[in-house]
Chain A
Amino acid sequence: MTLPFAIIAGLTVGSAIAAMSLRNMVHCALSLVLTFAGLAGLYLQLNAEFVGFTQILVYVGAVSILIVFAILLTRSTDPKDEPATVTPWVGIAVAVAAFLTMALAVVASPVGKRVAAPAPEVSVKTLGQKLMTDYVLPLEVMALLLTAAMLGAVIIAMKDKEGQR
């Protein structure tokens, strides 16, 4: 448990808890951004530089903006009087049970004690070559998916021309 890992992991988990429990939705979104940044730090620690910077570019730069725009467009910024959750205890109990199961599995298995090999030589060139040879089908499907999602989001969120129904 090295010190940089402890700091970044603590920051990530703390801001994730804040993102799920704050009352003000915009504060939740901003703590989510901090969580994403902390995760990018963890990826950089694991020598996955490309994925780390892509995480910042996509999540912090685009998905957070989407979430924030949606919060604004659905007027969720006004403070409401109702409590944020009705019966939180069931959900929290389920989550705690899930975590205990997973933690038990991690601690008990021999996989968790693996020692790290020296840092792998990852080059973006081989990543690109693999994308074009081994993974070309997922790449094309992803292109189709992103196009469909973009068109779908535009059509779904478009205002009707003849007024609200």
Chain B
Amino acid sequence: MAEFFQAIDQFPVTLKAWLMGHASGVLPEWALPLVSAALSITPILAVFPLLFALTTVIERKGLGRIQNRIGPNRVGIPLTNIRLAGFGQFIADGIKSLTKEDVVPHVADKVVHFLAPITLLIPVLLTYSVLPFGKNMVPLDLPQTGLLFFFALGASTELSVFMAGWSSRNKYSLLGAMRAIAQMVSYEIPLILSSLTVVMMAGTLSLAGIVESQADVRFGFLHGWHLFTPWGFVGFCLFLTAAAAEANRTPFDLPEAESEIIAGYFTEYSGFKFAIFFLAEYLGLFAMCGLGITLFLGGWLPPFKFLGFIPSWCWFLGKLVALILLFIWLRGTLPRLRTDQLMGFAWKFLLPMTLINLVVAALWHLSGGSVPLVVRWVVGFALLAVPYWLLGRGFEAKVGKREYRFAN
């Protein structure tokens, strides 16, 4: 029985090995690395756009239910009357985006306007190549610099935001682009610092290595996810907040909210280019969630050892879907932050918390053998909760007693 589950778990690896075995007999020597790379990329390109399509439908239905209305529920299989509870909506959206007229403003800088969506999509797709989707399933294993590769590409996406905003020759696009860039640059620092804590504890920048470092089993059945430590728990919350801001999701979506600035930096984009922006934004969100899962939630590891028969990629996908649902829930529930509140939150709250988190992680590691677990947890939590409360007070102090003024 165990071999059967093992076979299901590793079937992408065995499939690729079988195909490469056949290809090496047929193809010349120089083409083999290209074929190997293409075989690794194909599942990513097949699964994640499909996940994006389903997420758009689930998000609209989920938001609808949170807002006490029904989401899309009519479009099912096209050209038939089968409703499928609205899950064919993404087909309709896709056909609409592809067939809409591509309007480029007359004074727009045509080359830069054309290149901006591509410049956003390519780094985002590249970030998927270092995520470990399952056991032995990393498309590109960089043993020394895996995490740095991810963050370097994340930083490259800011440039395309600027290209989109500037090339449209539209004041509001430019303003939205500036705000978006300021937001992304500010939130990169808590993102990187909270990941740095994990790197420090795991001792490696390789993402597969970080997952391996969470594989130790405690109490006989619990895998050692970083989430199950005080610094890991707080680090995960900080990482999720910073990831939501990086991906321009509510409550941080001021640069692109419809009630604020129409569509921000991609106002002047229509049709296929808009579809690429939309796709790239959601794919970026999935990549960030994937990184959060790898760093804090144990990647492809199950929480309990006896659940290990479920395939590893199933666990990864399950955790990814759970995080996506969490982000949809946050979008429906929380109000939007204003730009100055957003920036203040990043620099004055998240940044000090990540630095304190780093110190707590170091203390946790140093007190590893000698101090009992309960004491470590209590001390760790206290060291994190007190600054959280104090910094939060610093933010609340501005709200004074409400003054009522009546017209006389």
Instruction: List chain A positions with a Cβ less than 8 A from chain B.
Output: 26-27, 30, 33, 49-50, 53-54, 56-57, 60-62, 64-65, 68-69, 72, 77, 122-125
Contacts and interface: CB of A to CB of B under 8 A. Distances in A.
B152 interface: yes
Contacts of B149: 53
A77 B144 CA distance: 41
A61 B155 contact: yes
Say which size band chain B's interface belongs to: 20 to 34
Interface in B137-183: 142, 144-145, 148-149, 151-156, 158-159, 162-163, 166, 174, 178, 181
A33 B151 contact: no
Q: Which A-B residue pairs are the 5 nearest by beta carbons? A: A61-B155, A56-B152, A57-B152, A53-B152, A53-B148
Given A30-B112, A30-B163, A65-B185, A60 B156 contact: yes
A69 B155 CA distance: 16
A56 B112 contact: no
B201 to A, nearest CB: 14
B145 A124 contact: yes
22 contacts: A26-B109, A26-B166, A27-B112, A33-B159, A49-B144, A50-B145, A53-B145, A53-B148, A56-B156, A57-B148, A57-B152, A60-B156, A60-B159, A61-B154, A61-B156, A64-B159, A65-B185, A68-B166, A69-B181, A77-B166, A122-B144, A124-B145
Given A61-B158, A62-B155, 19 more contacts: A26-B112, A30-B112, A33-B159, A50-B144, A53-B145, A54-B152, A56-B156, A57-B148, A57-B151, A57-B155, A60-B156, A61-B155, A62-B185, A64-B159, A65-B159, A68-B166, A69-B178, A72-B178, A124-B144
A64 B163 CA distance: 12
Contacts of A125: 203
A77 B162 CA distance: 14
Interface of B: 109, 112, 142, 144-145, 148-149, 151-156, 158-159, 162-163, 166, 174, 178, 181, 185, 188, 203, 205
Contacts of A54: 148, 152
Contacts of A27: 112
Given A30-B163, A56-B152, A124-B205, A65 B158 contact: yes
Scoring B109, B148, B178 by chain A CB atoms within 10 A of each residue's CB, the highest score goes to B148
Contacts of B178: 69, 72
A134 B149 CA distance: 26
Contacts of B158: 61, 65
Nearest to B192: A57
A46 B154 CA distance: 23
